[in-house]
Amino acid sequence: MRHRDPHDDPSTKRRPARYSAPPVTLGHIRAHGVRHLLIYCSTGLCHHSATVDADCWPDETALRDLCPKAVCTQCGMIGADARPNWQERSQRETLTGVQWRR
């Protein structure tokens, strides 16, 4: 009778972790020329949104870590949807195809 190695026990075997993309960080967003974040109230009821300056957070801050910390100034709900203000970028690189980066 073979000694049972805990590693052979199927119940201890874990399925490979699902691949998840690395979190979007403020450093990544800044690398694209975006310095502001759009914060949307997560209740979906008050539709409050705000643009915040991301300069006060370090580069390694993950966008998803900021979401649970945001408090809606209108309804007081904690937890918001934070997105990079990509419009800021499109002002520099126009989407018309006339201007391309050189």
In the bound complex, what is the minimum distance in angstroms from residue 102's beta carbon to Zn ion? Answer: 43
DSSP annotation of 78 reads B
DSSP annotation of 62 reads B
Q: What is the largest CA-CA distance in the chain?
A: 76
Q: Which is nearer to Zn ion, 52 or 88 (CB)?
A: 52
In the bound complex, what is the minimum distance in angstroms from residue 51's beta carbon to Zn ion? Answer: 15
Q: Which is nearer to Zn ion, 58 or 79 (CB)?
A: 79
Tokens representing residue 57 in the block = 């957070």
Q: Rule CB under 5 A: which residues touch Zn ion?
A: 41, 46, 48, 72, 74-75, 77
Judge whether 54 and 25 are in contact, CB under 8 Å: no
Q: Which is nearer to Zn ion, 24 or 77 (CB)?
A: 77
